[in-house]
């Protein structure tokens, strides 16, 4: 296998955007191409992750984006894996470069849904569940994670205030991120007083519905060396699956696909969780970050809550979790999120993260899943 | 738990599952090779990969594993809000099922471990009720 590097990255602001889905996808793509210092004609394939293009009247986004970049002849692939679409797309891009099919490819993730309103998004997002058992019985996504939360709080004697501390921490990080959707600091009291969406989760336990696009350029190590001094290397890639419905899981408070993907990625990278300096994890709801950081092996089962209480996961704590602000504060344009996480790792490991820089970081991890973790991908990167 | 047929089924049937839920039962599939139990919507054994199953009808009674009370519903559920979406563990089998439960407005209405039963199936999905 070829060694694979990330040589460029770009992202729109996340939030409520006015431009079309195509426009924002092209904006992040152009930024990434320019950041890589390459010509579009050097790209040999495009991997485009998106879930609800239909909401902005554009599916089959790949050829449209390629045409806008002046490379209509370049093949592209559109990828949907619910909220994990970005990382799954990154994995396919990675695998093709690693296999030697391509020297350089673009991976763009994009979503444009905020114009549809809360009812549309709540309803359509529920189609990402195992609909026969979940969405079709009234379960919203906040509801599914709320069910995980109630089980977690009972099993590990945690409180709703503990969940709120995750939100407060991620908003602190996102406040330093100019591209974050919810760029404001909040308190535990703010979270506790916010409206209940699906008990025990309240509005501030939930990430926002966001618009946004993110792009990274992946390439072979040879291509990277020839074009730039400013790149990072992918050292681990893992994927996994879980029973699609929560009812099919032995433990409601763990996500099997995360464990499978993480073990594969750690094994490939030849590292352990202790070697990771920072991680961008899938905190679609506050409870998810607790579950994720345990399933990724950063903390023992049930211990993430104590880690949050002690501030171990804050920026430059024992392990910085979601220095970007995470899905919670940075925002969650679902097709873009997994790519946006890689943009953050690129920025962190190439000295572009500004105020939210994780000091002396050498190894970063991304963790992104679809639905309640029915699909998952984990990637590990090192500075070069 | 009783076997209702010795015939080996190859295809699952959501319709059969729904009809049994309407009668308060859970239609499950038992692997003909290793005995592993699945809900009726499975085609290959998750445990051993075998394709042959026999249908098993399980009493739709169990205890609450976890749940949420939804106040911001998806389309079609506005008139039922608030309501609970509940996961239960069946008493007679090592299986969990989930569904819709009306008349739950506060966590005090439904302690974890509470006894519940499958009470039907309609446009809201599988209906669960407290016992």
Residues B81 and B44 in one domain: no
SS (H, E, C) A262-327: HHHHHHHHCCCHHHCCEEECCCCEHHHHHHHHHHCCCCCCCCHHHHHHCCCCCCCCCCEECCCCHH
- Letter string b/e over residues A185-209, b meaning 16 or more CB atoms within 10 A of that residue's CB: ebebebbeebebbbbbbbbbbbbbb
Residues B13 and B70 in one domain: no
CATH number at residue B116: 2.40.50
Q: Are A139 and B70 inside 8 Å of each other by CB? A: yes
Of A119, A147, A154, the CB nearest to B68: A147
- The catalytic site residues of A sit at 83, 332
A to B CB pairs, distance under 8 Å: 105
In 3-state terms chain B splits into helix, strand, coil percentages (rounded to 5) of: 10, 45, 45
Query: How far A26 CA lies from chain B's nearest CA (Å)?
Result: 32
- Chain B residues touching A246 at Cβ < 8 A: 87, 98
- Choose one of B27, B59, B91: the last residue of a domain: B59
Residues B52 and B71 in one domain: no
Of B66, B71, B100, the CB nearest to A137: B100
Q: Which residues of B touch A (CB under 8 A)?
A: 14, 39, 41, 65-77, 80, 83, 85, 87, 96-100, 107, 112, 124-126
Of B14, B39, B77, the CB nearest to A138: B77
Whether the CB-CB separation of A172 and A166 falls below 8 Å is answered with no
Nearest to A163 by CA among A264, A26, A283: A283
- Choose one of B15, B39, B59: the last residue of a domain: B59
Residues B103 and B70 in one domain: yes
Q: Are B68 and A135 inside 8 Å of each other by CB? A: no
Least CA distance to B13: which residue of chain A?
A132
Query: How far B114 CA lies from chain A's nearest CA (Å)?
Result: 14
- Chain B residues touching A151 at Cβ < 8 A: 65-66, 112
pLDDT at B9 over 80: no
- DSSP of A129-189, one letter per residue? S-TTTTGGGT--HHHHHHHHHHHHHHHHT--HHHHHHHHHHHHHHHHT-TT-SS-----HH
What is the rounded radius of gyration, in angstroms, for the C-alpha atoms of chain A? 19
Residues B22 and B67 in one domain: no
Quote ipTM for the complex.
0.94
Of A126, A196, A249, the CB nearest to B74: A126
Q: Are B68 and A143 inside 8 Å of each other by CB? A: yes
**Number of domains composing chain B:** 2
Helix axes A21-36, A61-68, angle to 10 degrees: 50
Mean pLDDT, residues B10-18 taken together: 75
Whether the CB-CB separation of A49 and A108 falls below 8 Å is answered with yes
B10 — pLDDT class (breaks 50, 70, 90): very low
Residues B54 and B91 in one domain: no
pLDDT at B12 over 80: no
- Chain A residues touching B100 at Cβ < 8 A: 137-138
Residues B70 and B83 in one domain: yes
CA distances in angstroms from B98 to A5, B88, B128, B129, listed in the order given:
44, 6, 8, 11
pLDDT at B6 over 50: no
Residues B6 and B53 in one domain: yes
pLDDT at residue B90, as a whole number: 98
Q: Report d(CA A367, CA A341) in Å as an integer.
A: 8
Q: How many CB atoms sit inside 10 A of residue A355's CB?
A: 10
- Chain B residues touching A248 at Cβ < 8 A: 39, 96
Domains of chain A, earliest start first: 4-116+209-227 (3.40.47.10)
Query: How far A145 CA lies from chain B's nearest CA (Å)?
Result: 9
pLDDT tens for chain A, 384 residues long, are 999 999 999 999 999 999 999 999 999 999 999 999 999 999 999 999 999 999 999 999 999 999 999 999 999 999 999 999 999 999 999 999 999 999 999 999 999 999 999 999 999 999 999 999 999 999 999 999 999 999 999 999 999 999 999 999 999 999 999 999 999 999 999 999 999 999 999 999 999 999 999 999 999 999 999 999 999 999 999 999 999 999 999 999 999 999 999 999 999 999 999 999 999 999 999 999 999 999 999 999 999 999 999 999 999 999 999 999 999 999 999 999 999 999 999 999 999 999 999 999 999 999 999 999 999 999 999 999
B2 — pLDDT class (breaks 50, 70, 90): low
pLDDT at residue A294, as a whole number: 98
Give B27-78 pLDDT, tens digit per residue: 999 999 999 999 988 889 999 999 989 999 999 999 999 999 999 999 999 9
What is the DSSP code (8-state) at residue A256? H
Residues B45 and B65 in one domain: no
pLDDT at residue B4, as a whole number: 52
Nearest to A322 by CA among A166, A106, A192: A166
Q: Are B112 and A154 inside 8 Å of each other by CB? A: yes
Q: Are B71 and A198 inside 8 Å of each other by CB? A: yes
| pTM, 2 dp | 0.96
Could you list the residue range(s) of the whole structural domain that residue B114 is in? 61-130
Host H or E run for residue B78: none
Residues B75 and B111 in one domain: yes
The percent of residues above 70 in pLDDT, for chain B, comes to 91
pLDDT at residue B81, as a whole number: 97
Residues B13 and B55 in one domain: yes
Least CA distance to B73: which residue of chain A?
A140
Q: Which of A118, A131, A137, A209 to mutate to test the interface with B (most CBs of B within 10 A)?
A: A137
Q: Which of B37, B70, B109, B111 to mutate to test the interface with A (most CBs of A within 10 A)?
A: B70
Residues B84 and B39 in one domain: no
């Amino acid at each position: 296998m070829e060694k694979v590097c990330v040589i460029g990255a770009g992202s729109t602001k996340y939030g409520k955007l006015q431009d079309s889905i195509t426009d924002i996808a092209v904006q992040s793509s152009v930024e990434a191409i320019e950041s890589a210092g390459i010509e579009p004609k050097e790209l040999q394939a495009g991997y485009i992750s998106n879930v609800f293009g239909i909401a902005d009247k554009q599916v089959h986004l790949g050829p449209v984006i390629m045409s806008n970049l002046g490379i209509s002849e370049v093949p592209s692939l559109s990828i949907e894996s619910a909220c994990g679409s970005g990382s799954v797309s990154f994995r396919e891009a990675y695998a093709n470069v690693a296999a030697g099919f391509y020297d350089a490819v673009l991976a763009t993730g994009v979503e444009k849904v905020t114009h549809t309103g809360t009812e549309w998004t709540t309803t359509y997002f529920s189609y990402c569940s195992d609909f026969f058992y979940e969405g079709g019985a009234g379960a919203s996504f906040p509801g599914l994670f709320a069910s995980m939360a109630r089980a977690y709080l009972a099993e590990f004697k945690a409180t709703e205030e503990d969940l709120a501390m995750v939100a407060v921490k991620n908003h602190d990080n996102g406040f330093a991120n100019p591209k974050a959707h919810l760029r404001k600091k909040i308190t535990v009291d703010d979270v506790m007083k916010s409206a209940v969406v699906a008990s025990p989760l309240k509005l501030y336990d939930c990430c926002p519905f966001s618009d946004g696009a993110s792009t990274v350029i992946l390439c072979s190590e040879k291509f990277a060396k020839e074009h730039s001094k400013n790149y990072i290397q992918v050292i681990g890639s893992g994927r996994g699956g879980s029973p699609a419905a929560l009812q099919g899981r032995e433990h409601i408070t763990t996500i099997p696909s995360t464990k499978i993907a993480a073990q594969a990625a750690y094994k490939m990278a030849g590292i352990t969780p202790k070697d990771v300096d920072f991680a961008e994890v899938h905190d679609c709801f506050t409870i998810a970050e607790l579950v994720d950081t345990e399933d990724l092996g950063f903390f023992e089962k049930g211990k993430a809550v104590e880690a949050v209480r002690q501030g171990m996961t804050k920026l430059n704590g024992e392990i910085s979790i979601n220095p970007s602000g995470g899905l919670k504060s940075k925002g969650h344009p679902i097709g873009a999120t997994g790519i946006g996480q890689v943009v953050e790792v690129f920025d962190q490991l190439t000295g572009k993260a500004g105020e939210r820089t994780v000091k002396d970081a050498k190894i970063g991890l991304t963790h992104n899943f679809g639905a309640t973790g029915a699909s998952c991908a984990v990637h590990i990167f090192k500075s070069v | 738990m009783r076997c209702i047929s010795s015939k080996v089924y190859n295809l699952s049937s959501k319709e059969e599952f729904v009809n049994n839920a309407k009668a308060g039962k859970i239609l499950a599939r038992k692997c003909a090779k290793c005995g592993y139990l699945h809900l009726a919507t499975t085609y290959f054994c998750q445990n051993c990969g075998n394709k042959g199953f026999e249908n098993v009808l399980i009493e739709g009674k169990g205890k609450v594993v976890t749940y949420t009370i939804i106040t911001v519903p998806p389309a079609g559920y506005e008139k039922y809000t608030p309501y609970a979406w509940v996961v239960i563990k069946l008493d007679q089998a090592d299986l969990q099922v989930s569904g819709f439960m009306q008349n739950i407005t506060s966590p005090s209405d439904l302690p974890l471990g509470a006894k519940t039963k499958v009470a039907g199936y309609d446009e809201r999905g599988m209906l669960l009720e407290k016992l």
